[in-house]
Structure 1
Amino acid sequence: MGPSSGSAGKFIKLCSPTIHYTADMSGRRVVVFPSAAELGPALAHLVASRADKALSERGRFTIGLSGGSLVSMLGKELPVLPDLDCSGWLAGFCDERLVPFDDGESTYGLYKNELFSKMNIPDSRVLAIDPSLTVQECAEDYAGKLKKAFPKEDIPVFDVLLLGMGPDGHTCSLFPGHALLEETQKIVAPISDSPKPPPQRVTMTFPVLNSARCVVFVSTGGSKAHVLKQVLDGGDGPVLPAARVLPSQGELFWLIDEPAASSLTLPVERQGSAAKL
């Protein structure tokens, strides 16, 4: 459940008369959990609820996945949800490293082992890169797969994009100060000089991120506190890549734990693992 455009910045009453949340002027919801252990189940329920909505309205559910801690979190929490039918899901990747699938850096390889193998998502409904290509060819090939999967849309509109954030404020493979931050034409771009190894990657661009129906950032741990404050509270200095993800028509969630939230001054919503978002 997200806020209406007229409710931004106000306290909104949910079904329970004792629970409230706040949404800032962008409609962004910042939800704080005691720890990552409580955050995981709430994330899984959020994904499942948006999947149910998409399947009932459009007959399929499209989700973009990111690596990092999200892999193990989703691999633990999604398969234990009761009656979760993923046969109508279509999964892609928000960015990917140009390495073989059996390399420990492959996001696809990690999800195949930790999530796809536990769920009924057919291989034909997972959009993966072709790591045998050059980075430029790989980006073009993956963009072609997205266009084929979203034939009626110039820019693919995913139902849910799950994103992480690095300690420098990057998200996907969109790094501070990089030229790709200004890319507006391509839906997938190659990067050969990633400041974080491996250097060759492909990444979705801001036009895709900001067209999604729902974007969910997950960020945990005290090491993220300083950059989270800059991204969410704002302040001096350039706008970091993660702060530039502002879906034009969709929901935006930041799901974080108490250590990551320790420096924030903005109003937040505090929830437990049973949260229905």
Structure 2
Amino acid sequence: MTKQPSLYAFPDNPTLQQNLYHYILQAQADALTRHQKFKIAVSGGSLPKLLASPDLLASSDIHWDKWEIFFADERAVPLTHPDSNYALLEQEFLSKIPKTAPQPTVYPINPEKLSDTEDLADAYEQSLIASFAAKDSVKLPIFDLVLLGCGPDGHTCSLFPGHVLLREEVAWVAAIEDSPKPPPRRITLTLPVVTHALKIAFVATGAGKKEVLRRIFDTQPETEGGEVLPCALVNLGAGEKVSWFCDHAAVEGVSFSKKSSL
């Protein structure tokens, strides 16, 4: 994969949301042409709120009943806990889908497995296997779309800089017991699963992201012997399949070529 990711910069959140909606609409159309389902993975943070745009929620072109929503990562907490990505997605996005519309299928973690993070990860991997490999054995699941955030340290999902999990090549879902960001116990999609997706979209907004975006886009640590941040590893591994949706504040000072529309 040699072609570069696309870096989009928009003047404000409403414009970003409009473009993200059209991107998702195209990803849905591509998916329904292939297999009549739209299989996506979603992370937490500010993403669910930005995802819940008026365009998306009111669109007659969104086929909610075809959506299968998985979590790019999740915290080992009850589904009603403030730290739960499921609770966040429910509050900021799922609860806003019109009740008259068919509802998406959502795959939360199994709350009965919370006491053992490895069991929690294994059970979630089985959910993926049931959806992606029900008939055939596959090495990796192929998500139609993975929607990700970017932490100020360059982490994405629960894949943190310098962590041993970045080298995981076999598991689809991995447990992490020592997250540098609380809560420490989590599960996450592994890097090969993320980069194997057909489309990957990062959403990063605000001036607090400009330093890490400069590191991700404007440095070449892989040739300089430095550390490659997890977000940059996704860029390297998935290339042109990756699109970044940012506001102007987040990309201030970033030299990498930027686009203003899809």
TM over 0.5: yes
Distance 1:154-1:250 versus aligned 2 partners, 3 A rule: farther
Identify the structure with the greater helix proportion.
2
Question: Residue 86 of structure 2 is aligned with which of 108, 117, 120?
Answer: 108
Corresponding position of 1:44: 21
Q: Which amino acid aligns with 2:70?
A: G
1:54 pairs with 2:31: yes
Q: How does 1:1-277 map to 2 (within 5 A)?
A: 25-77=2-54, 78-119=56-97, 120=101, 122=103, 125-133=105-113, 134-151=116-133, 152=136, 153-236=138-221, 237-246=226-235, 247-248=237-238, 251-271=241-261, 277=262
Q: Matches of 1:79 and 1:177 in 2, distance apart?
A: 38
Q: Matches of 2:257 and 2:52 in 1, distance apart?
A: 31
Measured after TM superposition, the shift of residue 170 of structure 1 is 0.4
Deviations 1:11-31 (A, max 9, x none): xxxxxxxxxxxxxx5231111
Q: Matches of 2:102 and 2:80 in 1, distance apart?
A: 19
Q: Which amino acid aligns with 1:71?
A: P
Structure 1, 189-198 or 109-118: larger mean CA deviation: 109-118
Measured after TM superposition, the shift of residue 258 of structure 1 is 0.5
Identity of aligned residues (%): 38
1:30, 1:269 within 8 Å by CA — same for their partners in 2?
yes
* Structure 2: segments with no counterpart, 5+ residues: none
2:21, 2:53 within 8 Å by CA — same for their partners in 1?
no
Distance 1:147-1:251 versus aligned 2 partners, 3 A rule: same
2:51, 2:93 within 8 Å by CA — same for their partners in 1?
yes
How large is the Cα RMSD of the aligned pairs?
1.8
Deviations 1:164-196 (A, max 9, x none): 010000000000111101111111000011010
Q: SS in structure 2 opposite 1:155?
A: coil
Q: Matches of 2:139 and 2:106 in 1, distance apart?
A: 20
Q: How many residues matched?
A: 248
Measured after TM superposition, the shift of residue 222 of structure 1 is 0.7
Distance 1:189-1:100 versus aligned 2 partners, 3 A rule: same
Deviations 1:76-131 (A, max 9, x none): 342122342211111101000111111111111121233223334646x2111113
Q: Which amino acid aligns with 1:96?
A: E
Q: Matches of 1:29 and 1:160 in 2, distance apart?
A: 15
TM-score (norm 1): 0.84
Task: List structure 1 runs of 4+ shifted beyond 6 angstroms.
Answer: none
Q: Matches of 1:148 and 1:181 in 2, distance apart?
A: 25
Q: SS in structure 1 opposite 2:245?
A: strand
Q: Matches of 2:183 and 2:111 in 1, distance apart?
A: 13
Q: Matches of 2:210 and 2:152 in 1, distance apart?
A: 9
* Structure 1: segments with no counterpart, 5+ residues: 6-24, 272-276
Q: Which amino acid aligns with 2:63?
A: D
Q: SS in structure 1 opposite 2:57?
A: helix
Q: Matches of 1:249 and 1:177 in 2, distance apart?
A: 21
Measured after TM superposition, the shift of residue 75 of structure 1 is 2.2
